[in-house]
Amino acid sequence: MKLREMRPVYVIGIGLHRYRPLSDTPYVRLGLTAVRAALDDAGIAWRDVQGAYTGVTRLGMAVSRPMLRHLGATGIPMTQVENASASGSSAFRLACMEVAAGVSDVVLAMGVDKPAPVQRAESLAGLPSLAGGHIVPFTKYALLADEYMARYGASPADIAAVAVKNHRNGARNPFAHRRKERTPEEVLGDRPIAGHLTRLQCCPVGEGAAAVIVASGEAVDRLGADRARCVRVTASAQRSEELYGPKSFDAELTRETTAAALADAGVAPSGVDVVELHDAFSIEELQYVEAMGLCGEGEAAGRLRAGEFDIGGRCAVSPSGGLLAMGHPVGPTGVGQIAEVTRQLRGEAGDRQQPGARTGIAHMVGVGAVCIVHVLEAAVRDGAAR
Amino acid sequence: MAEPHPAARRAVIADRRPSGPPDLRGIRCTACGRAAFPAQDLGCERCGADGAALRPAALAGAGTVSAAAIVHRHDGPGIGAPFTALAIVLDDGPFVHALLDGDGSPAPGTRVEAVAAGTDDDGGVVEVRFALAERAAGGAE
């Protein structure tokens, strides 16, 4: 059953702890900062929340309660969610499902994380490979960049332009890990990592927290939340990798999952005003905007150059700064995207505001590979939520 | 009894031939025909057939580069940089990531061949890299 055919689900509160390099601050304090901000934003109390899902990847077992108990013990269900880079997106999806199904009326989806050593389960599969530990995410995306440039005649500057835009957006985001505008020369001339990717074209992985509160329409009315600031979640799609041969599995997975989400929401790609996508590496944005249908295959570099994906352009892509500038603390990232899209659809994004934004999507891929896409729609401005 | 550390018994992944590049130890699924690397009996990724349905298959150690990237830095333990990573479509079908035996960044479309880059105490090939086809033919090993 499509989410849109179930009980309507609304984002009623958002909160963040700034993404930043690793510090001595315990995760508990990062997470509580985000949750308290989300409760304040929604105008509700912790005792109104009936369930919690926490996206987290590197903090060990049983993360939620040592943090959330400091809001007052209410006995609600608490569950950790791990889905690699998409952990926060999965936490949000589960919270939406729980409300849509009528199991709960008000649910917290959050993410919190700090850098720490991590083991990939695939390395425990007992199977040999040709390149083993030599192939890490940035290697894979450097290979995809090489293939993209050869296929479409794109230049290193075309790919670096993604980072220039997203660093510009991140410079305006108080919650961003990287808050500095960068020139094309700075991006291209930065320390080389792999292939044509430089350090400023690879996302920073630090610490942070993000929280959103989702609620049913009945709860919105009962709690007296402002309907004009409630953003409806109209689709939630999640898929895992199939066999695509030499094609980029992340792009193919993005194509399938985004198409499913937009179909469920009844929205055409041309109807999307704001996109937060998984730009862990600059090349990804060019591939994903094409895979999402925001432009044709091989057209992304030209459309980006023409300003179509800028704030104020046809469709703002990663107005938060994306993973490249806002950062990728992993557990919180997918939840932080929902916070940004919500802010945009409320018209509260300040100098990052995409004018007239009504429909937004949030997209993450995670190693595995998995892909999760949510579609959100603004409330009708006359006060009646859709 | 303690299991030996996995690193102490690396799998043999290729077999030398009297001439030409070594064959890669892969599988062919007798249920759906899919060829895959590495060899395994856990299950076919296309159709799910497992066990004896997955027959060992010698895959030609030859293919075409679809992408290349020089890796300038790497934090992995015991991994030195720079090195060149390759995406290769093998002539027998599978798409693999591998390392270039040599320097530089070969263009998409370049032909490459497997070379034995590491052997165990019994002479089994446990590490394979790929070299430009004309170089490999000249006897890189």
The answer to whether the CB of B30 falls within 8 A of the CB of B66 is: no
| Residue A185, in any domain of the structure | no
Domain with residue A99: its CATH number is 3.40.47.10
ipTM reported for the complex surpasses 0.95: no
User: Which pLDDT tens digit goes with each residue over A228-257?
Assistant: 999 999 999 999 999 998 888 999 999 999
The DSSP letter of residue A54 is: E
SS3 A36: helix
B66 touches chain A (CB under 8 A): yes
| Residue A156, in any domain of the structure | no
pLDDT at B135 over 80: no
| Residue A150, in any domain of the structure | no
Which residues of chain A from 161 to 220 reach within 8 Å of chain B, CB to CB?
Answer: 191-196
The predicted model gives A28-34 an average pLDDT of: 98
| Residue A287, in any domain of the structure | yes
**Tally of domains within chain A:** 1
A241 touches chain B (CB under 8 A): no
The structure tokens listed for B47 are: 């159709």
* Minimum distance, in Å, between the CA of residue A298 and any CA atom of chain B: 17
Within 8 A of A128 by CB-CB distance, chain B residues are 10-11, 13, 38, 126
| Residue A73, in any domain of the structure | yes
Residue A256 structural domain:
3-115+204-377
Between A and B, how many residue pairs show a Cβ–Cβ distance under 8 A? Answer: 94
The order of strands in the sheet holding A274-276 is A78-81, A52-55, A106-113, A207-216, A9-20, A231-240, A370-377, A359-366, A274-276, A316-317
User: Which pLDDT tens digit goes with each residue over A259-275?
Assistant: 999 999 999 999 999 99
The answer to whether the CB of A176 falls within 8 A of the CB of A319 is: no
A127 touches chain B (CB under 8 A): yes
Q: Which among A289, A361, A301, A16 is positioned nearest to A164, based on CA atoms? A: A301
CA A254 to CA A352: how far, in whole Å?
25
| Residue A269, in any domain of the structure | yes
CA B29 to CA B77: how far, in whole Å?
35
Residue A386 pLDDT level (bands cut at 50, 70, 90): very low
B45 touches chain A (CB under 8 A): yes
CB contact under 8 A, A134 and B10: no
Specify the DSSP element, H or E, that contains A189.
helix A184-189
Q: At what angle do helices A156-170 and A137-152 cross, to 10 degrees?
A: 120
Can you give the pLDDT at residue A153?
A: 96
pLDDT at A56 over 70: yes
CB contact under 8 A, A143 and B73: no
CA A5 to CA A230: how far, in whole Å?
18
Q: What is the CB neighbour count within 10 angstroms for residue A313?
A: 16
Place of tokens 């070969």: B106
CA B14 to CA B25: how far, in whole Å?
5
Which residues of chain A from 67 to 96 reach within 8 Å of chain B, CB to CB?
Answer: none
The DSSP letter of residue A91 is: H
CA angle A34, A38, A39 (to 5 degrees): 120
The structure tokens listed for A332 are: 């919180």
| Residue A176, in any domain of the structure | no
Residue A106 pLDDT level (bands cut at 50, 70, 90): very high
CA A275 to CA A320: how far, in whole Å?
10
pLDDT at A28 over 60: yes
Within 8 A of A194 by CB-CB distance, chain B residues are 69-73, 85
- Candidates A122, A123, A124, A134, partner chain B, best to mutate (most B CBs within 10 A): A134
Question: Out of B10, B11, B108, whose CB is closest to A147?
Answer: B108
The answer to whether the CB of A116 falls within 8 A of the CB of A88 is: no
C-alpha dihedral over A248, A375, A108, A66, to 10 degrees? Answer: 10
Within 8 A of B66 by CB-CB distance, chain A residues are 147, 246
